[in-house]
Structure 1
Amino acid sequence: MPKWESDGRSVTLEICVESAAGARAAIAGGCDRIELCAALALGGLTPSAGLLASVLAVARPAGVPVHAMVRPRPGGFDYDADDLALAAAEARALVEGGAQGLVFGATGDGRLATEYLARWIETLGTERPALTLHRAIDVVDDPVAAVEQAVALGFGHILTSGGAASAMAGASVIARMAERADGRCEIIAGAGVNPGNAAALIEATGVGALHGSASVAADADVDDRFGFGPMPRRTSEDVVRQLRQVIDHKSNLGQL
């Protein structure tokens, strides 16, 4: 059994959150795994030690693993030496803080930055957490070929939209990525995943996992005259539950 395989459900539901409240909603709705980020409005950044601790306090009693984002800044994934050094330090701190997995990626010249990624993984030592290659793979020239590089590096999960703006738009590429992975790692379809398209996405790609924020607009906003930004979106227990129901129904149909 691959180390990433879920506990009996044929399709894993991963929900990205940025707060303990979001983790509670995701777990109550039936998620299998949490991806923890700060600043989801920016695509997700490395969470603080305090945020990690607060989410682990919710997730551990429920038996839900927490995989933490390692992204030292917003923008693209062509990192300089300072970015890369910070990403390595953040990764070690997250592991020490109890994260069961890390989510990371780095690119250069239209390809995965394999030499740096290998060094970054080496800094984690021999007792490594689960590793997810995030959507950095979506900006490389050939995401299907990059699956081989990710597997060789030791990533057990790959989060992807198939190089498109949404997972549905990239479904054909995601399907090719899943075929290339051939069970050696878990391909996670993410970007624009919702209860209305989840079943079609599973059918079109054959993936073993879906990823989404399952979020709705916050109940209140702030006066942004001072540039503080809008309130974060809120993880919806109802949307998570709807995703869970769609996935389980699809899985049950597949078992008939």
Structure 2
Amino acid sequence: MLEHRIALEICVDSPAGIAAAVAGGADRLELCDALETGGLTPSPGLVRHGLESGRAAHAMIRPRTGGFVYDEDELAAMLVDAAALRDAGVTGVVIGAAKRDGTLDLDAIARLRDEAGPGMKVVLHRVIDLVPDRLAAVDQACALGLDGILSSGGALGAPDGAEMLARMVRVAGDRLWIMAGAGVRADNVRALVEATGVVNVHGSASKQVGAIDPDLARLGFQSVAPRTTDRDEVARIRAILDSMGAAR
């Protein structure tokens, strides 16, 4: 039995997803738009739904699809988003930026952290999975005073990155928390937690709910089949985590 309760964060991009995540027992929401692209900054309407859910709500700040190297105009837009999310009352923000050499853009991350303001949780997103030295990046995130890091350990899915995640957990110590995310499901979460020592896990817990609409595809508006949060999968993950950890 683990000493601490293991927190479950579910990423959502719709009001229905929020409702399913809450009903399934998620501790925290990560609010995003366009999860099929890895998540973008959520709309004010979705943020309002998240805040009314009764769960802690973190919001992604990512202005576009593609990589994480941002120019000054893009960063300016992200700072406005950070201020708006702060004023809206979200619990935390999920941020990240990189330099052209692949290392973390520490200045951009610090500016976003500062705009979020005191009292806001600040989490580094999976930009860390692309940096050349993830362990050094953990130390950098700690030095910036961030609260957490979301990572797959550099792998396509967190189960395949478990060895690196365990190393990241050891480097972080009690300075910040490492949250295992990507490919987390009920059938692998126990082994993942046991192998890594994480006390935060993240997933979409989603299921496919339809096929590609040919009319939307013809217009270039849809390229993947729609998915939504699966309340039952959230509940299965939560039950497994509850069987492993005792509440603080």
Q: What TM-score results when the alignment is normalised by the length of structure 2?
A: 0.92
Provide the aligned length of Structure 1 versus Structure 2. 240
**1:97 match:** 88
Query: Mapping of 1:102-113 within 5 angstroms?
Result: 102-108=93-99, 109-113=101-105
Structure 2 residue aligned with 1:120, among 102, 106, 112? 112
Q: Which deviations, in whole Å up to 9, do the C-alpha atoms of 1:90-111 show, x marking residues without a partner?
A: 1111111121110000111121
- Map of 1:13 onto structure 2: 8
In structure 2, what is the equivalent of residue 139 of structure 1? Answer: 130
Question: Given residue 150 of structure 1, which amino acid in structure 2 is its aligned partner?
Answer: A
Q: Secondary structure at the match of 2:240?
A: helix
Alignment pair present for 1:179 and 2:170: yes
Describe how 1:50-199 pairs up with structure 2 within 5 A.
50-57=45-52, 59-60=53-54, 64-108=55-99, 109-125=101-117, 127-199=118-190
Residue identity opposite 2:243 in structure 1: H
Deviations 1:79-131 (A, max 9, x none): 11111111111111111112111000011112111122112222334x34111
TM-score (norm 1): 0.90
- Of 228, 240, 244, the match for 1:250: 244
Partners in 1 of 2:157 and 2:174 — Cα distance? Answer: 23
Q: Which runs of 4+ in 1 moved over 6 A?
A: none
Output the amino acid matched with 1:32.
Answer: D
Instruction: State the Cα distance separating 1:232 from its structure 2 match.
Output: 3.4
Contact 1:19 1:55 in 2 (8 A): no
Could you report, residue by residue, the CA deviation over 1:27-85 in whole angstroms, capped at 9, with x for unpaired residues? Answer: 1111111000000011000001111112222x13xxx1000000011111111111111
Does residue 226 of structure 1 match 2:229? no
Conserved? CA contact 1:175–1:205, under 8 Å:
yes
1:95 and 1:28 map into 2 onto residues whose CA distance is: 26
Secondary structure (helix, strand or coil) at the match of 1:110 reads coil
Residue ranges of structure 1 left out of the alignment (5+ in a row)? 1-7
Structure 2: segments with no counterpart, 5+ residues: none
Match of 1:48 in 2: 43
* 1:35 alignment partner, SS class: strand
1:213 is aligned, of 204, 212, 223, to 204
- Aligned residues: CA RMSD: 1.5
1:4 corresponds in structure 2 to none
Deviation at 1:220, TM superposition (A): 5.6
Per mean C-alpha deviation after superposition, the further-off stretch among 137-146 and 213-222 is: 213-222
The one-letter code matched in structure 2 to 1:16 is C
Q: Could you tell me the percent identity over the aligned residues?
A: 48
